[in-house]
Chains A and B, each alone.
Chain A
Amino acid sequence: MKITFVINEETETWDVSPDDIFLDVLRHRSYFGVKRGCEDSSCGLCTVLLDGQAVNACTLLAAQVNGRSITTIEGLGTRDHLSPLQQAFVECGAVQCGYCTPAMILAAKALLDTCPEPTEADVRDTLSSVYCRCTGYVKPVEAVLRLMRQHQGT
């Protein structure tokens, strides 16, 4: 079957099978920002934005993406021009092994896009979608709050 959808602002048509999981399809097509951590929506390392909302690609059938809009980490920033969230993570030292970073960035982006002034509790709630074994979440939370304060001009 074919799915037609927007990925990182480009419309694409992909050939998929009804039983294809979107995480697998993405990685087969070299979108390596999504990671295979649990395959059952426990770890969040496969986070993508589906119509602007963070979801786990491992429990999404590729077929469900038809007609929808997807953002992956590959759609945010470039090597030379990091996105504001990526910049904040770097400046705060919020990246250690980096395995969870794409997922955290996407989850945080979804939060800030819909809620420009989140509380710390909101930020923690958002980032707790993603397992991180390195940082203890301290610097990632700080990075998101720092970016929010920059936007507020404080």
Chain B
Amino acid sequence: MILSHLIEYHCPTDLNEALRLLSRPDVATVPLGGGTSLVADGVPSAQAVVDLHNLGLDSIEAADDGLHIGAMVTLQNVIDNSHSRSLARGFLASVARRTTTRNVRNAATVGGTLVSANSVDELLLALLALDAQVVLADMSSKRCISLEDFVTHTPAHLSQATLILGVVIPPLPTGFGVGLERVARTPADRPIVAAAAFVAMEQGRCEAARLILGGVARLPVRLTAVETRLLGRVFNDELIAEAAETAKSIVVPFSDFRASSDYRREMAAVVCRRALQVAWNQVRSEDRG
């Protein structure tokens, strides 16, 4: 039994009670979202689970500071909800639809996506490209950190007594474009390598850029060196090709049964180029109105 030590199940209605349960030193307690990771993979040492279902973390709200997506919002909710489905011209919803099957989307949560921190999870890559912020709560405080910081620094150092309350996607500037391109064995398979690109342009010049690459390291990688080369420049095919080559030159991908390091490096350039192209095309077609 993969959860063979599990002797307690809790389903609190109060966030502080959930945090209290998670911070007990004598009982190994883990949070439970939809179950599609926790129950599938098992946590052999877990003695107790705290089901987050009844904490009111499942809403999506549009506010002045951005779109608030609760940690217990399911991937299917992201697709169906009227706020999230229109975010970034439908980018987030279409990415969520590609991640996994309907049955799993009905149960898997946005919070779970962050915790799993899979290098090729397209929703994670998309959220990183959209500069999502993560709202965390522990017994003493609520705080907000960038998703980038959360993914790179937090999971291993998170005390058990911290919960993700949700993410906030800041308002998008005018003149933005997004793209997410991937290579995989089949269209429905998980990506081998994928890149998510966000650009904001002002009169043809790049004002902001975020380029996130998955499938070259254990976690998604933000290609700041490539972004720097794009800032202030006028976009054209040559610039995009230059960006792709830069990406290829700076990544040192791992090899595994899915793909060799060489393949991942070659594909990094391809997906970066394609993602930037799609993002730029979006900006131009919006300009043309």
A→B interface (CB under 8 Å)? 1, 17-19, 21, 39-41, 44, 47, 50, 53-56, 58-61, 63-64, 66, 107, 125-126, 128-130
Given the interface pairs A19-B7, A64-B35, the reply to whether A41 lies near B104 with Cβ below 8 Å is yes
Bound Cα distance A17, B48 (Å): 12
Pair A56/B107 contact, Cβ less than 8 Å: yes
Within 8 A of A (CB), among B110-132: none
**Can you report 7 A-B residue pairs in the complex whose CB atoms are below 8 A from each other?**
A19-B6, A41-B40, A41-B104, A44-B103, A47-B103, A58-B39, A61-B35
A56 to B108, CA, bound (A): 11
Contact A21-B9, Cβ < 8 Å, known A56-B103, A59-B107: no
Shortest CB-to-CB span from B231 to chain A, Å, is 39
From 23 to 58 in chain B, residues with beta carbon under 8 angstroms from any chain A beta carbon are: 32, 34-36, 38-41, 48-49, 51, 53
Q: Are B9 and A1 in contact (CB under 8 A)?
A: yes
A56 to B105, CA, bound (A): 10
A44 touching B101 in the complex, CB below 8 Å, given contacts A18-B6, A19-B1, A59-B35: yes
Q: Which residues of B contact A1 (CB under 8 A)?
A: 9
Give which listed residue, A40, A60, A129, contacts B102 with CB less than 8 A.
A129
* Inter-chain contacts of B5 with A (CB < 8 A): 19
The complex places the Cα of A94 from the Cα of B255 at a distance, in Å, of 42
Alpha-carbon distance between A58 and B34 when the two chains are bound, in angstroms: 12
A59 in contact with B102 given A18-B49, A19-B3 (CB within 8 Å): no
B residues near A107, Cβ cutoff 8 Å? 102-103
Chain B residues, Cβ within 8 Å of A44: 101, 103
Q: Which residues of B, 168-192, contact A by the 8 Å Cβ criterion?
A: 188
Contact status B39-A21, CB under 8 Å: yes
Give complex CA distance A19, B44 in Å. 11
Q: Which of B6, B40, B51, B97 contacts A40 (CB 8 A)?
A: B40
Residues on B with C-beta less than 8 A from A18 are: 6-9, 48-49
CB-defined contacts of A17 to chain B, threshold 8 Å: 6
Given contacts A19-B1, A61-B9, is CB(A125)–CB(B102) below 8 Å? yes
Q: Is B59 an interface residue (CB 8 A)?
A: no
Apart from A18-B48, A47-B103: 7 A-B pairs, beta carbons within 8 A = A18-B6, A19-B3, A19-B5, A53-B106, A56-B104, A58-B40, A61-B9
Q: Which of chain A's residues have a CB closer than 8 A to the CB of B38?
A: 59
Contact of B4 with A by CB under 8 A: yes
A112 to B168, CA, bound (A): 32
